[in-house]
Structure 1
Amino acid sequence: MPRNHPDRPLFDLVTDPDRPEGDAGSTLLLVRRFDTPFLLTAALSAGAGSSELTLDRGKSGKGRIAEFRRLSGRAVLVLRDKHRLATGGPAAVRAGADSFARSVIWSAPVLREDADGALVDPTGLALTDLHGIADLLRERGQGDYAVDPDASYPLPAAAGPRGVRLPALLTLRGPGTGPALRRVTPAPAALSLVQHVHLVPLPDPPLPARPYHPASGGYGIGHDDHGDRVADGVRVMYQPRFRLEPAEPGAVSGPVRTPLVFLVDPAVPEPWRSAVVAGGNWWREAFEAAGFPDAYRVEVAAVDTDLDDPALNTVWWVHRDGRGWSHGQALTDPRTGEILHGRVRLGSQRVEQVTALAEALLAPYGHPDETARLAAVRETVLARMRLLAAHEIGHALGFMHNFASTGHPRPSVMDYPHPHITVGPDGTPDLSRAYPAGLGPWDHFLVAHAYGRFADESGELTAAAEEAGLARLRREATERGLLCLADEDARGPGAAHADAAVWVPHLPDPFEALDQALAVRRAAQAGFSRGAVPPGRQTGELERRAALLHLYHRHHLAAVARLVGGVRYAYAHAGDALPDTVTGTSPVPPEDQWRALRATVALLDPAHLVPDPAVLAVLTPPGIRYERSPEHFDTRAGRVFDPLSAVESAAALVAEALLEPARLNRLAWQHAADLRQPGVGDVLAALFTASWHPDDGPDDGPDDGPHDGPDAASDTAQEAVSDREPLVRETAGWVVVRQVMAAVRDGGPHPPVREELKAALRTLAHRLAAEPGAADRNQARAARRRETAHTLTAFLAGPAAAHLDPLPRVPPGAPL
């Protein structure tokens, strides 16, 4: 049996003398200790290149707790549930471990065994789909795939200070019919990627864990402790953080033993590479302020750097098919939350996306001041890349999103920023302040709370001093108004907080932000020309730039709409001392909700729904060998641009925001308690009035508060829709009706809310059926409305069985 060697690496690699030299399969794995937990993960070094599939170059897989066991002459790889651990005495640990299932995922015969350890052939482990590629392909609708052993091969393995790495070329075979795979794979039935299986020893000794607090801005690492502490509640949460220890033992601050370094992929081309380094180094200021000078830096990796080495923290440059997200990941010790390895993926497509938006706004090519406008485009992209690097590295440092920083003195880099663009004195969009530079006060708080060290009056580092110091930091942040709101509060159907808006500029007033966005949209559309696309590109690209402008206000609209049925609250522990203003959950005041409803519904005015004549005048279909992408509007007008599809998409922004089932449920509850609040019926009445019966005028709700909506569109835009206004309104009306129908069929609304939706549809049907028509044009419109009434009546007779046209597809607007 192998002896216990606590002073030697847990794993090592040995060349098999019985195999040809240089053969990738000639490497054997030396296991020095059995029954010893370690981290098992699988990363990709060669990906699929699809934004939809997210199988990126540089992507890390999930970290798992594993251990090798010696059974019947074999080394058996066993996974333990990292979300259910046990601490305490030996009996408590054993009971906790034996209470939950384990998973044996691989085994191999022990080939030789001596005092140094046991040798096994790791080829089968290297060829196992530990990243979960097949599962992801199945979940994304690409079909059933499995590893083909005849077309999969181990690659040269490596050992280092962070354990052993087993790379392999994995070929997965499947039907080859998935649309995403067909776009990026030469032979879609055979997808070949390079996976690296990492066997990473757990730190010994472990880093002292820092308890997680929901107001800390960290993303939290947790598990259930089914050991001796069950009476205290089994859930344990830790603050994720790197090990950052001062060079002088016991010091609160000062130089550190091992600086925290992120290496940037040399594949990032200039000038974007310098922007990534500069933005990533913004965090140096926060570490210095927390007492750690020269503890953190970002620099460019040497050309021959092995970015797959888990001992390095890396920033990868990733190419994909279409619009996609960048990511910051961390491999953590589940026992303590210590971050062992940070890995960032920056999507190169972001450069093209921001460039396209800036060019659409300025139409620089061929303009008299082309040089200045192109310089503004370039600087906007560079500023965005600096901010993007800081954001994603922030995730790898242990920090989560904060979508409430629009109310901070300076925005956080952990927010999602929309470019802050205004209309200049010359009437053109001004991009000079598009993106902020540097950290905000929340970012300084993040570093201080995660990495700061705290001593008592005698200078000793104690748990009590740490607890008091962290509580003081949180209290000061609350007093400064540094609210923190994360993904669940800002994105998705459950998001309800009024201040957790994503992709909005740093303006605390959402109404001001919406007005500003609409003004920029008008100015950019009025100045739109073929100069929005570089002269060497085909004119069909103008459609995509036009879509960016037509939906430019989408996120600002969403920030206003979320006030309707919105609430406010803050993260805390039950024992925290908080001001009354941030305890519990409070609805947005009635005057703000009514103002938001008016402002949102006003965007159903045809002048806001139809692209400016300057835009429509220059659009052409894609050239031969080119095609529309998901970034374009759909068309039901054959090859040419379909203005009614643009109308539908713009109307859908309003309808989807106001008629989301969870929002309707909140509205019903708030209105039942306070009749001054808008109710479900008020929202439906406002939508139906704006789209089907504009002459009725809006129901303004209470008499208190501003009654203004967004400014009207330009005179030219209003003139362009005057003759088409009935058609445009009915098109928008159908978008609203379909959204209401979908809500009726959805399982989300409570039964009383669903019945109110049906009653509103019934009332609309009666009114449309009764409308007279005198002139020829009015007769045609009245006939269409009677048919609409018949359709609504048929739907209400049997909603579950009725056919519903799909809701309009809105081209993607994120990431920016």
Structure 2
Amino acid sequence: MTADFIDLLPDPDRPGGRLLLGIRHFDEPFLLTVSLSQGLGSSELWLDRGRAGKARLAEFRRIGDRVLFVVRNKHFQTYGDAAAVRAGQESFPLSVVWSGPVLREENGAAVVDATGLALADHDRIAEHLYDEEQGEYAVDDARSLPLVADSRTGPSATRLPALLTFAGPGRGTAVRAVAADPRALTVVQQLNLVRLPSEPLPVRRFHPNSGGYGVGYADHGRVGVGDTQVRMQPRFRAGPQAEPIVFRVDPAVPEPFRSAVIEGGNWWREAFALIGLPDAYRVEAGDEAFDPYEVGVNGVVWVHRSGRGWSLGQGLTDPRTGEILHARVRLGSQRLEQVRALGEALLAPYGRPDEAERLAAVEELVLARLRHLAAHEIGHALGFMHNFASTTHPKPSVMDYPHARITVTDDDRIDLSAAYSTGLGPWDHFLVAHAYGHFADEDAALAQLRAEATESGLRFVSDEDAQGPLAAHADAVTWVTGGDARQALETMLRARRIALEGFSRGVLPPDRQTGELEERLTLLHLLHRHEVIAVARLVGGVRYAYGLAGEDGRGTEAVDAATQRSALTGLARLLRAEQLALPQAALSALTPPAVRYGRTEQYLDSGAGRVFDPLDAVRVAVTLVTEQLLEPARLNRVAWQHAMDPASPGVTEVVDALLTVTWRRTDPVPTELPGGVAVQYTAAWTLLNHLLTVLREGTLHAAVRTSLRSALRRFAAELRQGGHDGQREAADLISGVLADPDAVHLDPLPRVPPGAPN
């Protein structure tokens, strides 16, 4: 097959055995991208069907009778005069990843045997498997071959698929869970060589408060002239003269889910219409010829995995301009089961007189979540980042992470009828206008858009400032509904109580084994987990906004003292037995998993052998709170804020608040609580173990560590006055850790089952 870019040539000597390419263009940069069309299907490994690896700049070079395949780091580019460009190119290394002899000249092309190029591990899968502790793997050439008949070429791109077999020890748990023979992992790699547009799209400069991804490169030719870091807003070419942005949905998505994906994805049409581009974007069903690996096709791919996993939206960008050349979304099918399990656990539909009505509510919950998920992941593919502060907006953004909005009626019934918002929020309209709008004076118009968004209260906070132990922004929380985290916690606790009191075998389809009741109970027991994180974010919390030094801004401000103290009190009471004890009816319904079944990571661990362990359930629920409030970075912030404003709670107050509801509890534990005294006692010991663990292993500032040690020393003296054996033992434990931390055994913190994705 002859093309303007690269020719695919038949091999009369070994038909289908060698991949012969005719190289027409040398020293012309193009994009090298790698996809997997046959994946490993493990949520732990992320080597899915539809995976798109990182793009690199590449080119063919000819030196004498050999052709080199050269890869360059696209994050270092230099522009300017010839001397500047040469200095930039010679300052950073090239990578020659393949070379081969010229076999002959044919029709103006240098013919090479590129079989070795197609069979190379361009996405470093072997390295990834090693990093994920699956063992040392390497491509086995004897069991790998180029798929010559499936190769494609054209004027703008060439695709070279290959079947790669990675040979290795086969002892890793993730590969053993999914592979027929984990010693031979066979995938299909799609190697794409993509020409850059001959007419580059004008660059739209990235602004940190725009909500877009900031792609770019370092241009050291700008040294002494301007910032060497060049950042751009990634975006498709859109406008009256451009082709429409079309996403096609994998026909493997079954109905009614495919229609839900199309409907949710098309929510973005409204935003394009509002900027005068009503026909610039659409989502439609893919036909039987659907091929998401074809360059230029924007595909929504249906991915199956073993275990709980994320969906993703990715775009391939021109590294010079940020233009998105094509995009791919991966929707994980197991997300449907996660949401369905939540709905069934909340409504316990099976065997009820209104079973059909409840099941319809569960099904609509799943469809509503899928609509939102499709809009979210396609939003990433359009160039937009997460916004985890959108719960403070009049209507949340689809770029947020939404948990089901669970409401409770006046007669104590759980209502899921408005679980997920429909359509775009105002932030989403802003995203499209800022990335895709056409303006006479671009800089002024974009600045005005950002100013209007800020004035209307549209806050933007993304990943690092919203997730993980170092996150501190009070408004940036995931999987929480409603702007007031404290009220959201109260609502979720009420729904949790109602669902737990109604827990029965009716939470499972009648043909499922009863051991799965434990998993559904775990969902309900930890239902408030995300709200706990959101409320804890207020303690030692701060607020700030992204921006530029030349713009107005207020820096970082601490959450007010009254709000912090209210949040601390609200979280501390979750350590009372009334919040921790599970209803007897729920406990009585449980059985261990049957033979040929087993507990997964979604279950709670058990210290009681094969059966469910209520006290381990208590330990995990306590840890939900303590892992947030006792996180070292939070305690360091609390200490500083208290030093700046003594009205704010300090480290000692945080510790005392938790001890007051556990070890210092003075009111009796209600006798009707199943195992109430044991539950409260377990909560107290779990807290103390966590306090001592933070003291021994945490990265606390010296003054914070001193405050914590002093609080514990006083508490140990207090315990010795109590006279109870458990109190004396706790005092001895504290004294031992204070004297020699390494000489004292502390229990490992309990494993908390994953709560996301939802």
TM-score range, shorter chain: over 0.9
Which residue of 785, 788, 791 maps to 2:733?
Answer: 791
Report the more deviating stretch, 724-733 or 512-521. 724-733
Q: Which residue of 2 aligns with 1:806?
A: 748
Structure 2 matches for 1:507-518, cutoff 5 A? 507-518=482-493
Distance 1:769 1:473, change over 3 A: same
Is the CA contact (8 Å cut-off) linking 2:5 and 2:157 kept in structure 1? yes
Which residue is equivalent to 2:453?
477
Aligned amino acid, residue 591 of structure 2: T
Distance 1:406 1:103 in 2: 46
Given that 2:292 and 2:328 are in contact with CA atoms closer than 8 Å, whether structure 1 keeps it comes out as: no
Alignment of 1:437-452 (within 5 A): 437-452=422-437
For residue 432 of structure 1, what is the aligned residue in structure 2?
A: 417
Q: Return the alpha-carbon distance in structure 2 between the equivalents of residues 369 and 696 of structure 1.
A: 42
1:494 is displaced (CA, Å) by: 1.9
User: 1:786 deviation in Å?
Assistant: 2.2
Counterpart in 2 of 1:170?
164
Quote how far apart the aligned CAs of 1:120 are. Answer: 1.5
- Partner secondary structure for residue 657 of structure 2: helix
- Report how far residue 260 of structure 1 moved: 0.5
**Distance in 2, Cα, partners of 1:72 & 1:796:** 73
Query: 1 CA distance for matches of 2:688 and 2:93?
Result: 50
* 1:497 and 2:473 matched: yes
Name the CA distance, whole Å, in 1 between partners of 2:223 and 2:237: 26
In structure 2, what is the equivalent of residue 316 of structure 1? Answer: 301
Residues 429 and 111 from structure 1, CA distance in 2 versus in 1: closer, same or farther, beyond 3 angstroms? same
Using the TM superposition, name which of 174-183 and 750-759 deviates more.
Answer: 750-759
Q: CA deviation at 1:229?
A: 4.9
CA deviation after TM superposition for structure 1 residue 759, in Å:
2.8
Superposed counterparts of 1:184-199, under 5 Å: 184-199=178-193
Read off the aligned partner of 2:503 and give its amino acid letter.
Answer: F
2:402 alignment partner AA: P
Deviation at 1:509, TM superposition (A): 1.1
1:311-350 deviations in Å (ceiling 9; x for gaps): 2000000011111100001111111111111100000001
- Partners of 1:315 and 1:718 lie apart in 2 by 54
Using a 3 Å threshold, how does the CA distance of structure 1 residues 72 and 789 change in structure 2: closer, same or farther? farther
Contact kept, 8 Å, 1:399 with 1:446, in 2: the verdict is yes
Query: In structure 2, the residue corresponding to 1:66 is in which secondary structure?
Result: strand
Post-superposition offset of 1:719: 4.3
Q: Secondary structure at the match of 1:70?
A: strand
Indicate if the aligned counterparts of 1:735 and 1:808 stay in contact, CA closer than 8 A: no
Looking at structure 1, the residues matched to 227 and 302 of structure 2 have their Cα atoms a distance apart, in angstroms, of 43
Could you tell me which residue of structure 2 aligns to residue 379 of structure 1? Answer: 364
What is the DSSP-based 3-state SS (H/G/I as helix, E as strand, rest coil) of the residue aligned with 1:69?
Answer: strand
* Shift of residue 746, structure 1, vs aligned partner: 3.5
Report the equivalent of 2:535: 560
TM-score (norm 2): 0.97
Which residue of the other structure, out of 641, 645, 649, is the alignment partner of 1:670? Answer: 641
* Secondary structure, aligned partner of 1:276: helix
| SS of aligned partner of 1:644 | helix
Spell out the pairing of 1:454-473 with structure 2 (5 A cutoff): 454-455=439-440, 465-473=441-449
Of 556, 572, 591, the residue aligned with 2:562 is: 591
Aligned counterpart for 1:43 among listed residues 35, 41, 44: 35
**Distance in structure 2 (CA, Å) of the matches to 1:748 and 1:231:** 41
Q: Relative to structure 1, is the Cα distance of residues 310 and 618 closer, same or farther in structure 2, using a 3 angstrom cutoff?
A: same
Write the letter of the residue equivalent to 2:710.
Answer: A
The letter of the residue matching 1:47 is: G
How far off its partner does 1:244 sit? 1.2
CA distance in 2, matches of 1:167, 1:744: 54
Q: In structure 2, what is the Cα distance between the partners aligned to 1:85 and 1:392?
A: 30
Counterpart position of 1:704? none
* 1:611 corresponds to: 582
Q: Give ranges in structure 2 of 5+ residues lacking alignment.
A: none
Aligned pair partner of 1:736 in 687, 701, 705: 687
Deviates most, 804-813 or 69-78? 69-78
Question: Contact 1:391/1:414 (CA < 8 Å) preserved in 2?
Answer: yes
Decide whether the 8 Å contact of 2:69 with 2:97 is kept in 1: yes
Secondary structure of the corresponding residue to residue 37 of structure 2: strand
Give the 3-state SS of the residue equivalent to 2:371 in structure 1: helix
Tell me the residue number matched to 1:266.
251
Q: Deviations over 1:767-805 (max 9, x none)?
A: 333321xxxxxxxxx223322332332222332464432
What is the alpha-carbon distance in structure 1 between the residues aligned to residue 279 and residue 267 of structure 2? Answer: 13
Counterpart of 1:245 (choices 239, 248, 265) is 239
Distance 1:367 1:162, change over 3 A: farther
AA aligned opposite 1:607: E
Match among 214, 218, 227 for residue 220 of structure 1: 214
Q: Which residue of the partner structure matches residue 94 of structure 1?
A: 86
Larger CA deviation: 314-323 vs 677-686: 677-686
For structure 1, list consecutive stretches of 5 or more residues without a partner in the other structure. Answer: 1-6, 248-256, 456-464, 698-716, 773-781
Cα deviation digits, residues 151-179 of structure 1 (max 9, x gap):
11211311135411111111112221111
Question: Which shows bigger deviation, 150-159 or 414-423?
Answer: 150-159
Aligned residues: 755
Following superposition of structure 1 onto structure 2, how do residues 604-753 of structure 1 map, counting pairs within 5 Å?
Answer: 604-695=575-666, 718-721=670-673, 724-746=675-697, 748-753=699-704
Please say if residues 346 and 414 of structure 2, whose CA atoms lie closer than 8 Å, have aligned partners that are also in contact.
yes
The 2-side partners of 1:306 and 1:160 are apart by 15
Per-residue CA distance 1:282-330 (angstroms, 9 max, x = gap) = 0011111111011111111111222211220000000111111000011
Contact 2:134 2:173 in 1 (8 A): yes
Q: Does 1:542 align with 2:537?
A: no
Q: Is the 8 A contact 2:37 2:189 kept in 1?
A: yes
Q: Compute the displacement of 1:730 (Å).
A: 2.9
Range that drifts further, 278-287 or 198-207: 198-207
Matches within 5 A, 1:283-298: 283-298=268-283
Whether the 8 Å CA contact 1:85–1:223 is kept in 2: the answer is yes
Establish whether residue 76 from structure 1 lines up as the match of residue 62 from structure 2: no
Q: 1:212 to 1:718 in 2, by over 3 A?
A: farther
Q: Which amino acid aligns with 2:496?
A: R
Match of 2:328 among 329, 334, 343: 343
The one of 83, 106, 110 equivalent to 2:98 is 106
Q: Does the C-alpha gap of structure 1 residues 230 and 67 become closer, same or farther in structure 2, counting only changes over 3 Å?
A: farther
Residue 280 (structure 1) aligned with residue 255 (structure 2): no
Q: Which residue of 2 aligns with 1:133?
A: 125
Partner of 2:199: 205
Percent identical: 58
Match of 2:666, SS state, is helix
Kept in 1: contact 2:581–2:676 (CA 8 A): no
**Helix, strand or coil at the partner of 1:17:** coil
Q: CA deviation at 1:114?
A: 5.0
Question: Shift of the alpha carbon at 1:17?
Answer: 2.9
Change beyond 3 A, Cα 1:442–1:620: same
Single out whichever of 205-214 and 30-39 deviates more from structure 2: 30-39
The counterpart of 1:65, out of the listed 36, 57, 63, is 57
- Please report how far the alpha carbon of residue 518 of structure 1 lies from its aligned counterpart in structure 2 after TM superposition: 0.5
SS of equivalent to 1:49: coil
Q: Determine if contact 1:162/1:311 at 8 Å carries over to the other structure.
A: no
Match of 1:779 in 2: none
1:391 and 2:376 are equivalent in the alignment: yes
**CA distance change for structure 1 residues 357 and 38 in 2, over 3 Å: closer, same or farther?**
same
Q: Write the letter of the residue equivalent to 2:247.
A: F
Q: 1:107 to 1:803 in 2, by over 3 A?
A: farther
Q: Which sits farther off after the overlay, 175-184 or 154-163? A: 154-163
Kept after mapping to 1: 8 A contact 2:4/2:154: no
Contact 2:18 2:114 in 1 (8 A): no
> Once structures 1 and 2 are overlaid, which stretch shifts more, 686-695 or 269-278?
686-695
Which residue of 9, 16, 23 corresponds with 1:14? 9
